């Protein structure tokens, strides 16, 4: 389990509770650390064995990216839901977040221009594309995300992988089939007295079942800022937290190796990636190049702009060729996540919602009218769920144009209109 934390203070910065969490894992399952280290060593040896025999992939803009279906599970309270702008805000953040991770994993991020000249040859196109799931595990059309409103003040402890957010029985949302979908939970996270940015549970971690695999990210670190009024953790507003956590999911660790500030040659393990210079500990904020530390006191210094370091979102902008090789190996035949690469038909790389749908009146107390272009769209079914995620009404028939909601308690509900390949979602108020 790999995690990051951040304190909301005057000078907020990315910080990590990884050691605490791994200690917790070791306490629950003695021998876990040794097992994880051995597995990672195998992954690195296999992935990097041929890196000196193949051409650099640094600037390749391949059209044959590995496409992975992604589903986002929002497990947030009503305060968080309202603060990010409700359903429209959720979709805005999903859209911006997908743009960021697809750019970052395909060497298309605009800030690559900031990479120091000496490291430009190491700049990698990882070749992984993330598409919003358009089909659910049951075969129904999907909007690619779901929502459960939890009691106000609910937070999830990352020391156990935010487990409660991942199961409906504990008030969260169950994972979709982890062999076909990459599950990402968005919630209010914490560790000890700090706000947590994210936690990742990759395959093979002992003590964690298949339904727990995936990434959990703080709702205030999810997405990229599109307006000044949006709430984000300070300096963590450009979507790079998920880029970082996805690196963890595909078996990368932090650039300094989480070895307690040691250097190679003095007991330190570093990150096992020769292309990232030795590093004493995490680098924070947005330093200027070159940045030196005890492990790299001269030359080019440390690669603080690597996605696996802890600088601000605006100061990180590359994976290296060897890091890319590790992640690609995880998705190749024999890799832990190979099955995720086998279902591209479940994903849509262009996140869009149907705009020309009208649902009215809103608020209402008896009937809901649904208007849409029936020549352009085929409406398959409609359902209504409450803010706890419970389905209240489901109607499945051709040309649905009206729902009878008489008898529903006064409250806010979510109405989902399932068209072919697209879903239109809107919040309604019943009086």
Cα–Cα distance, 12 to 385 (Å, whole number): 37
Cα–Cα distance, 120 to 112 (Å, whole number): 9
**Residues with catalytic function:** 245
Residue with tokens 């062999």: 179
Q: Region 369-389: what's the mean pLDDT?
A: 81
Residue 15 has pLDDT above 70, yes or no: no
CATH homologous superfamily for 358-430?
Macroglobulin (MG2) domain (2.60.40.1930)
Phi and psi at 87, nearest 5°, equal -60, -45
pLDDT, tens digit (0-9, with 9 covering 90-100), for 329-346:
999 999 999 999 999 888
Question: What's the mean per-residue pLDDT of the chain?
Answer: 88
Residue 45 burial (CB < 10 Å; 0-12/13-18/19+)? exposed
For position 51, what pLDDT does the model report? 62
pLDDT, tens digit (0-9, with 9 covering 90-100), for 269-296:
899 999 999 999 999 999 999 999 999 9
Q: Which residue has the higher pLDDT, 374 or 285?
A: 285
Tokens describing residue 172: 């969260």
For position 160, what pLDDT does the model report? 87
Residue 287 burial (CB < 10 Å; 0-12/13-18/19+)? middle
For position 316, what pLDDT does the model report? 98
For position 59, what pLDDT does the model report? 38
Structural domain boundaries of the chain?
2-348, 358-430
Residue 424 has pLDDT above 80, yes or no: no
Q: Region 348-359: what's the mean pLDDT?
A: 69
Tokens describing residue 138: 């049951």
Residue 141 has pLDDT above 80, yes or no: no
Task: Return the minimum-mean-pLDDT range out of 71-75, 277-281, 385-389.
Answer: 385-389
For position 57, what pLDDT does the model report? 38
For position 54, what pLDDT does the model report? 40
Q: Per-residue confidence at 61, pLDDT binned at 50, 70, 90? A: very low
CATH homologous superfamily for 2-348?
Collagenase (Catalytic Domain) (3.40.390.10)
CA angle 95, 243, 182 (to 5 degrees): 70
Residue 199, helix vs strand vs coil: strand
Residue with tokens 């399932």: 418
Look at the pTM and tell me if it is higher than 0.95: no
In eight-state DSSP terms, residue 229 is: T
Residue 187, helix vs strand vs coil: strand
For position 351, what pLDDT does the model report? 56
């Amino acid at each position: 389990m790999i995690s990051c934390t951040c304190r909301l203070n005057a000078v907020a910065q990315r910080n990590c509770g990884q050691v605490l969490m791994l200690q917790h894992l070791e306490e629950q399952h003695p021998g876990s650390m040794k097992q994880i280290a051995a597995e990672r060593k195998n992954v690195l040896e296999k992935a990097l064995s041929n890196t000196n025999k193949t051409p650099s992939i640094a600037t390749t803009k391949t059209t044959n990216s590995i496409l992975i279906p992604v589903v986002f599970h929002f497990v947030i309270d009503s305060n968080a839901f309202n603060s990010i702008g409700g359903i429209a805000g959720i979709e805005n953040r999903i859209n911006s977040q997908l743009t960021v991770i697809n750019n970052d994993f395909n060497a298309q991020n605009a800030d690559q221009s900031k990479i120091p000249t000496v490291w430009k040859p190491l700049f990698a196109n990882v070749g992984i594309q993330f598409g919003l799931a358009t089909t659910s595990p049951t075969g129904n059309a999907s909007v690619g995300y779901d929502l459960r409103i939890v009691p106000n003040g609910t937070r999830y402890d990352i020391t156990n992988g935010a487990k409660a957010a991942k199961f409906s029985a504990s008030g969260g949302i169950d994972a979709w089939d982890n062999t076909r979908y990459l599950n990402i939970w968005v919630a209010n996270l914490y560790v000890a007295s700090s706000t947590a940015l994210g936690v990742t549970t990759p395959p093979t971690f002992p003590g964690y079942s298949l339904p727990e695999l995936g990434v959990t990210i703080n709702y205030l670190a999810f997405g990229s800022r599109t307006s000044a009024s949006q709430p984000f953790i300070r300096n963590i507003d450009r979507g790079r937290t998920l880029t970082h956590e996805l690196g963890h999911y595909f078996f990368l660790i932090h650039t300094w190796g989480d070895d307690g500030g040691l250097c190679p040659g003095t007991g330190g393990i570093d990150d096992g990636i020769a292309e990232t210079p030795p590093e004493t500990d995490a680098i924070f904020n947005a330093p200027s190049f070159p940045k030196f530390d005890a492990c790299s006191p001269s030359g080019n210094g440390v690669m603080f702009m690597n996605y696996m370091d802890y600088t601000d979102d605006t100061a990180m902008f590359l994976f290296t060729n060897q890091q890319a090789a590790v992640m690609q190996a995880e998705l190749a035949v024999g890799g832990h996540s190979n099955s995720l690469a086998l279902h591209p038909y479940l994903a849509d790389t262009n996140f869009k919602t149907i705009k020309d749908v009208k649902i009215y009146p809103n608020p209402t107390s008896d009937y809901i009218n649904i208007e849409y272009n029936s020549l352009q769209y085929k409406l398959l079914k409609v359902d209504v769920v409450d803010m706890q995620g419970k389905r209240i009404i489901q109607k499945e028939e051709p040309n649905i144009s009206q729902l009878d909601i008489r008898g529903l308690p006064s409250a806010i509900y979510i109405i989902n209109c399932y068209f072919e390949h697209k879903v239109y979602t809107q919040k309604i108020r019943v009086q």
